[in-house]
Structure 1
Amino acid sequence: MGASASRGQVARIPAPEPEPEEAALGLNQLPPELLLVVLSYVPPRTLLRSCRHVCRGWRALVDGQALWFLILARDHGATGRALLPLVRSCLPPARNGRLCPLGRFCLRRPIGRNLIWNRGGQEGLRKWMVRQGGNGWLVEENGPAVPGAPSQSFGTSFRWCLKKEFLDLEEEGLWPELLDSGKIEICVSEWQRARDGSTCVYRLLVQLLDANQTVLDTFSAVPDPSQQWNNNSCLWVTHVFSNIKMGVRLVSFEHWGEETRFWAGDYEARVTNSSVIVRLCLS
């Protein structure tokens, strides 16, 4: 006897219809004025290194002035409020295919920032042009704290040691019309300290130069030699270049030091927190 088995039919259930997706709105579909607002919240480094290379439209926005004015307008401090009208008055006309000077300005933020990168030996002697005397320059701990200075300083030896740095103000983000506006000043300063129990001499020379390295203005400080028992005395040397002449494009910052007892290994005329700061004339 055979039993017959019925083979069941598997019912096919139709898959649900996918719900229609809302069309994604790309940034390029935004009106240009809204896209400018969005891009103004992107860090300047990203704007210049990435966004500028997305397409021709984005490049035109990044190269133009409107985007950078939006970024500058968010600084509501005293400097920011003074900066915006000054920039409007001295910004050169836009040129097709060239980045607006405000791009580098917003990237570098040169106003109110110390333009000397290695101000106290955090990176050894990098960025400095050096002439060694005696045992040469040494980076050492400050010992007693120096107000506002890094924990390290540069020390000189028993023969004259010289250190110099050139600052290109245009490379730092300042453009010629702004430099020649008569509305900025340059403040230079440095802490100098002598070790207790020794004597030393020190000199600071700062020069403002044009693009051909012609000297337009000079500040020189030659304090009296330190006495042997000086209780680790500190001296703050500072000067403000105001009424800056037309054509200033470079700053030369150099200092010398020498331990005058000529003891090998005794590092004196320690200097730290070397500073060059461009400021707006707010008065």
Structure 2
Amino acid sequence: MAALWQHRALSPAQPRPSWQVRFEDHWELRRRGVPPPKDPNWRALYALKPFQRNLLQNPNPEGLSTSEPAPPCPPKAPWMLLNPQGTFKGWQISTEPLPVGKEATLPHYSWSVKQQRIDLLAEGLWEELLDLYQPNITIMDWYENSKLASCVYQLHVQLLGTDQVTVIGEFHHVAQEGDQGGANKNWHHVSHVFERYSPGVRFVHFLHKTKDAESPSGYHRTRATDSSVSVQLRD
């Protein structure tokens, strides 16, 4: 693939633009054999820093730290659980009620669903890179073992084509803790790397579900934090 750069070599009378040099050298594109973009805006690409950064907006909307247990979550009314404004900007938020038993006794469970769709081209990646080189796309997330139920978390990620419907790659994780006892509510880590996927990927759809429970004392939540979608060039 290194040969693809040859036709862009400029004569001594036409020195390379400094932004192009900075971008190419910083990411070592030639050494890695990365095909160049067509008609690039090198300054914009350099500013976007498309590799190794988190492409999700507000990945830690509640300001929680995985280095220590999640602080107590005061019971709240359902409509107060998540505010789609402010720190949750960028997330599409919804609730999926779960079936209630015949006796309709508490607790009642529901999924809190947060999702984002990332436009990879808008984030500074380019078609030749995604179709020919296919950089790694890494997904990471942390969720609280709230012990509200045997399964308190799900993660569903899809690599989508231009039409935002065609699924080119996908990853699913359903937590099965099986332990509702005790007071230890540690953070659990989930990760996956998409490698050597088929050409055509243009979007990443990230969706996770965390379980909530309505009890006599109010609503209690399972929380997630430090969600991440990033792109890496291979060495």
TM-score normalised to the size of structure 1?
Answer: 0.59
Q: Could you tell me whether the CA contact under 8 Å between 1:111 and 1:278 is conserved in 2?
A: yes
The CA deviation string for residues 45-67 of structure 1, in whole angstroms up to 9 with x for no partner, is xxxxxxxxxxxxxxxxxxxx633
What amino acid does structure 2 have at the position aligned with 1:227?
A: D
User: Structure 1: how far apart are the matches of 2:185 and 2:95?
Assistant: 24
Q: How does 1:44-59 map to 2 (within 5 A)?
A: none
**Counterpart of 2:18 in structure 1: which amino acid?**
L
Partner of 2:174: 222
Give the alignment of 1:102-251 within 5 angstroms: 102-121=42-61, 123-133=86-96, 158-195=109-146, 198-199=148-149, 201-213=152-164, 214-225=166-177, 227-230=179-182, 231-251=184-204
CA separation of 1:90/1:35 partners in 2, compared to 1, >3 Å: closer, same or farther?
closer
**What SS is found at the alignment partner of 1:132?**
strand
Q: Retained in 2: the 8 A contact 1:194–1:226?
A: no
Higher RCO structure, 1 or 2 (CA under 8 Å, sep 6+): 2
Q: Which runs of 5+ in 2 are unaligned?
A: 1-11, 64-85, 98-107
Distance 1:86 1:66 in 2: 21
Q: Answer yes or no: is 1:90 the counterpart of 2:35.
A: yes
TM-score if structure 2 supplies the norm length? 0.70
Q: What's the CA shift string for 1:202-238, capped at 9, x where partnerless?
A: 1000000011011111100001045223501221010
- Pick aligned residue for 1:72 from 18, 23, 31: 23
Q: Structure 2: which amino acid aligns with 1:218?
A: E
2:187 maps to a residue whose letter is C
Query: How many percent identity over aligned positions?
Result: 30
Q: Aligned partners of 1:105, 1:202: CA distance in 2, in Å?
A: 36
Q: What is the one-letter code of the residue matched to 2:49?
A: R
Asked if 2 retains the 8 angstrom alpha-carbon contact of 1:202 and 1:225, the reply is no
For residue 180 of structure 1, give the secondary structure of its aligned residue in structure 2: helix
Instruction: Flag the 1:203–1:216 CA change in 2: closer, same or farther, 3 A.
Output: same
How many pairs does the alignment contain? 188
Cα contact 1:182–1:244 (8 A) shared by 2: no
Which amino acid in the other structure matches residue 69 of structure 1?
Answer: Q
Structure ID, larger Rg: 1
Partners of 2:21 and 2:13 in 1: how far apart? 12
Shift of 1:181: 2.2
Distance change (3 Å), C-alpha of 1:73 and 1:244? same
SS in 2 for 1:181: helix
